[in-house]
Amino acid sequence: MSGVYSAQFTGVAITAAQDLFELVAGSGKPIVVLGFEIGQTTDVGDAAEEILSLNFNSGQTTSGSGGSSVTPAATDTGNTVAASATCEANNTTKASAGTILTHWSGTWNIRVPQEKVFTQEQQIIIAASRRCTLELVGAPADSITVNGTIWFQEIG
């Protein structure tokens, strides 16, 4: 598939609720969210198992802050076109304002990676210039070191 990109972060200590990923579709280039994966490396074998809530939202008009910019990479190594969409990871101040819609809500048992691949019928289409986030709803009980990847396709 052409026009498919991934964005990732690795080794981030998470102690607070946050937007794990924030994507903003480019002007004139809607995106289709294909899936994501997150996992942690610090609480392996921890007796205090945690189940954390996740939401995939869109419609926020104010960007989050406290994280970092991530450059999406094309999954097709022959694609030399940079993504029009922009991405941030680990914003501890979540994106807000606007009419926020929740498209998917789930949980993550931190003992195992959470992988979500949206089927064609479930894929989330984000209009041009619109913002969306993968949100960690609440804070973990203690610091966890997390890696994450999100995949999306640009349309047009």
Checking if the pLDDT of 55 tops 90, the result is: yes
- Pick left, alpha or beta for residue 150 (phi over 0 → left; psi -120 to 50 → alpha; otherwise beta): beta
The pLDDT score that the predictor gives to residue 47 is 66
Size of the chain, expressed as the number of residues it contains: 156
Cα angle: 67, vertex 71, 73; to 5 degrees: 140
pLDDT digits 0-9 by tens, 5-41: 999 999 999 999 999 999 999 999 999 999 999 999 9
Task: State pLDDT tens for residues 62-92.
Answer: 999 999 999 999 999 888 889 999 999 999 9
pLDDT of residue 1: 55
Integer Cα distance of 145 and 60 in angstroms: 27
CB-based contacts of 19, cutoff 8 Å, min separation 6? 64, 67, 88, 90, 91, 94, 95, 133, 134, 135, 136
What is the Cα–Cα distance from 54 to 98, expressed in whole angstroms?
A: 20
Q: State how beta strands 124-126 and 31-40 pair.
A: antiparallel
Who has greater pLDDT, 55 or 42?
Answer: 55
Amino acid 46: pLDDT: 60
Domain boundaries, the chain: 4-154
Full-model pTM: 0.94
Spatial separation of the C-alpha atoms in residues 20 and 134, rounded to whole Å: 6
